[in-house]
Amino acid sequence: MEQKPTLLWLSADRRQNNIHQLFANQWQLNRIHPGEPLHTQQPGCSGRPIGVCDLASLTQSQYAHIDQWLEHLPASSWLAIVQPDQLDQPQVRRLIQDYCQDYHTLPVDWRRLRYSLGHMWGM
């Protein structure tokens, strides 16, 4: 049986139960919460994982540490999810520019997101 690619999902929103349903068939999903200590969250990864960073879910205090998370986690590429008005914030634009290959605005178009993740993984 072929191993599924790994998808890291960095989000402060613990209520996103549909994420597992949407991606479990295609991906080995590792959910990571930025409110927990970084050293306690070492995702098991197969191959070269990619990541989704849900910037829309972060609190202001979590923004201060998000660089450490994005640098520490083993994703080869990141995709950000943001609220449309977050794109006006210099810190959010810098995070996207420095760490992300792509971004999507809320509300998420799940079909488009799955396509983008597949494209990122194939690159």
Count CB atoms within 10 A of the CB of residue 25. 7
Looking at the structure of the chain, the number of domains it has is: 1
CATH code of the domain containing 83: 3.40.50.2300
pLDDT of residue 1: 60
**Is 1 part of a structural domain of the chain?**
no
C-alpha 24: how far from chain center: 15
Per-residue pLDDT band at 101 (split at 50, 70, 90): very high
Q: pTM of this prediction? A: 0.88
Q: Which domain holds residue 44?
A: 6-122
Determine the 3-state secondary structure of 120 from DSSP: helix
Kindly give, in sequence order, each residue whose CB lies less than 8 Å from that of residue 53, ignoring residues fewer than 6 positions away: 10, 11, 66, 69, 70, 78, 79, 80, 81, 95, 99, 100
The pLDDT score that the predictor gives to residue 116 is: 96
pLDDT digits (tens, 9 = 90+) for 34-92: 877 765 566 666 678 999 999 999 988 888 888 888 988 888 899 999 999 999 999 99
* Portion of the chain with pLDDT greater than 90, in percent: 49
